[in-house]
Structure 1
Amino acid sequence: MEESINALKEKFPDVDYRPLKLDLSSQQAVRAAAAELLSWTDVPSIDIVVNSAGIMNIPERTMNEDGIEIQFATNHIGHFLFTCLIMPKLLKAAETTERGSTRVVNISSGSPTVGSMRWSDMNFEKINKDLPEAEQPAYATHRLFGAKDPENKSYLPLEGYNQSKVANLLFSIAVNKRLYEKHGILSLTVHPGVIPTELGRSALPETMEAVRAMAENKVFTYKTLGAGAATGVVAALDPQLGAGETRDGKENWGVFLVDCQISDKATPLAESSAEAEKLWKLSEDLVKEKFAW
């Protein structure tokens, strides 16, 4: 962390930096980090939160200390809890800025274009083909990424990731319902693109081989770090973006961004207001706390 701060100081010496240790996989650690941030009296308000950290493709089904599948716990529940706990400082910022200037940006992936929530089996205990049809994985996508016989598996590493990243978009939709009209706080979700980072370091060998083959065959093109960050910057700062609308039968059009543009590629379930409310209730139940502002 200090190495990153020092590198940033060389390029932007006039900016103040403050490190904060945050283990998103642990609710106890998240609460401790939020309490520390809230104690910073010299930082009375926060204008923008970018929820970016995450894990991917954990090879074996793994539960965190709270009994939640580790990718969902880290990539959604950790961000949900941290954002809600530090909301007083965002609300303070929103008091003196234009509507939509104070923002929560969730860094997702391409998962909302293929995935949905696994409501009847959040911890991946049931065989995929036995799930309700709407909750079953996109089998063709998993085969493309090297999975064998995905219908007869219960846990697929990529599906754990997909569910957590769909949750990122639904979280934004739920935040907008609660905070945009009342307080002017806007939330958006972005797919940053495929970027060669250490995110996929836990992937199985067959998954890595499939990814290499797709890259060679131009199924996707890797983005640079700068290009990968660009859509998140747009989501954080573009004054023309809003809380979403119903357009051409699609709910919440305008909340999901890809390649610095609004995307219409999310599945109906990934941008559903009803699904977002269901996720909010589940999230509150899992953290054992209700939030209202």
Structure 2
Amino acid sequence: MPEFNFNPTSDIATSALTRKPVSGGRFNVHTTSDQAAADLASGITDKTVIITGVSPTGIGADAARAIFQQNPKLLILASRSLENINAVINEIRGSKSVENVKPLLLDLSDLTSVRKAADELLRMTAVVDALINNAGVMMVPNFKTTSEGIEWHFAINHVGHFLFTNLIMPALLKSQDGACVVSVSSAAHRGSIVHFEDINFNEGKNYEKFLAYAQSKSANLLFSVGLTQKLGKKNLRSFGVDPGGIPTTGISRDISMEERIERGWWDKNGNPNTELIPYKSVEQGSANYIVAAFDRTIDDQSGACITDSAIDPTTAPHALDPESAKKLWALSEKLVGQEFSYN
């Protein structure tokens, strides 16, 4: 396997100079979730939206807050923790008594849970207009697999979402205006291809946490390509999203402060190293979710990756490769034990 070669300076800061603004340039790196949601309100109001992996202080929670303010018909928040979901619901609704925000228990590391959640979702609503696959894990120190034998990052970040998305596809395809599936990736996708013959790192013998995370983030982008290949003609859109470096979320909880300082991501005083990485606020990160899901001026770019609220021309070619997307789809079907064919 190749060494992890992701360089934050060259791969985030420099590439930002060449990105193509979307929507006539009205969105950019500084755009917040509130600004994006207000601008795209007509595509949010009276729509049904699902966000996975919501937890307090997270990017998904902020996206939920901004979307809620634009009066969706139904906002479904999914997580393996009902406590986290309820905390987010209570935060975004304030003192209001609302019926348009619902919890959904979903454990992406357990395919039985994924199937149960999909069944419940289809009982809750016949139509889904936007699915934001936000849940994820990052740089888990030690190798582990799910009960199905799938490496932890690959299982949670990709395989669980692959199964959930396809199981609720009947509802997505009923969206009157055409649904969108957003898969949250990372600039770290540049660090690794998907190793189709060895996603489990020789059953952990060659495990490297950076590569495991990077491989799963490439899979997220290839999934968007695959959805566009198979369902673009049925009016389904799909985008990958790189929300950027956001130091206040919990996804990096497995990375020690010592390691963050050693890698230069944080300075010696234990603060985010803004000279090396152009860190963003949570609101700037989640704006990408909203642009991807609801901006109809970029329909013809389905399958691309969005970052800084722009189509990212610096996305690694291996994460956009059509043949790799087909191989990933086939591998994912094998891992979940079910085929999904769309005519």
Tell whether the structures are fold-level matches, with TM greater than 0.5.
yes
Residue aligning to 2:277: 220
Task: Work out which of the residue numbers 174, 182, 205 in structure 2 matches 1:105.
Answer: 182
SS in structure 2 of the partner of residue 216 of structure 1: coil
Quote how far apart the aligned CAs of 1:112 are: 2.9
Question: Contact between 1:113 and 1:265, CA under 8 Å: does it hold in 2?
Answer: no
Q: Which amino acid aligns with 1:186?
A: R
Asked if residue 67 in structure 1 is aligned to residue 149 in structure 2, the reply is yes
CA distance in 2, matches of 1:231, 1:194: 13
Residue aligning to 1:139: none
Residue aligning to 2:339: 290
Quote how far apart the aligned CAs of 1:92 are: 1.2
Task: Work out which of the residue numbers 28, 31, 55 in structure 1 matches 2:112.
Answer: 28
CA distance in 2, matches of 1:13, 1:223: 32
Residue aligning to 2:286: 229
CA distance in 1, matches of 2:273, 2:219: 30
CA distance in 2, matches of 1:217, 1:75: 27
Question: Contact between 1:230 and 1:260, CA under 8 Å: does it hold in 2?
Answer: yes
Residue aligning to 2:244: 193
Q: Which amino acid aligns with 1:124?
A: F
C-alpha offsets along residues 84-140 of structure 1, whole Å, 9 cap, x if unaligned? Answer: 0011111111xx22xxx410001111023333111232101289xxxxxxxxxxxxx
Matches within 5 A, 1:124-273: 124-125=201-202, 154-181=206-233, 183-196=234-247, 197-204=249-256, 206-209=258-261, 210=263, 211-213=265-267, 215-216=272-273, 218-244=275-301, 255-273=304-322
Question: Contact between 1:62 and 1:70, CA under 8 Å: does it hold in 2?
Answer: yes
CA distance in 2, matches of 1:199, 1:228: 13
C-alpha offsets along residues 21-72 of structure 1, whole Å, 9 cap, x if unaligned? Answer: 10011111101111111122xx220000000011111101111111000010
CA distance in 1, matches of 2:296, 2:246: 26
Question: Contact between 1:174 and 1:276, CA under 8 Å: does it hold in 2?
Answer: yes
C-alpha offsets along residues 172-198 of structure 1, whole Å, 9 cap, x if unaligned? Answer: 0000011111x1000000100011211
CA distance in 1, matches of 2:140, 2:301: 33
Question: Contact between 2:189 and 2:216, CA under 8 Å: does it hold in 1?
Answer: no
SS in structure 2 of the partner of residue 121 of structure 1: coil
Q: Which runs of 5+ in 1 are unaligned?
A: 128-152, 246-251
C-alpha offsets along residues 202-243 of structure 1, whole Å, 9 cap, x if unaligned? Answer: 125553222214942622122111011011111011111135
Q: CA-atom RMSD, angstroms?
A: 2.1
Task: Work out which of the residue numbers 4, 8, 13 in structure 1 matches 2:92.
Answer: 8
Question: Contact between 1:57 and 1:158, CA under 8 Å: does it hold in 2?
Answer: yes
CA distance in 2, matches of 1:191, 1:76: 15
Which structure has more relative contact order (CA 8 Å, sep 6+)? It is 2
Q: What fraction of aligned residue pairs are identical, expressed as a percent?
A: 37
CA distance in 2, matches of 1:275, 1:84: 19
Length-normalised TM-score, structure 1: 0.81
Aligned residue pairs total 252
Quote how far apart the aligned CAs of 1:14 are: 5.8
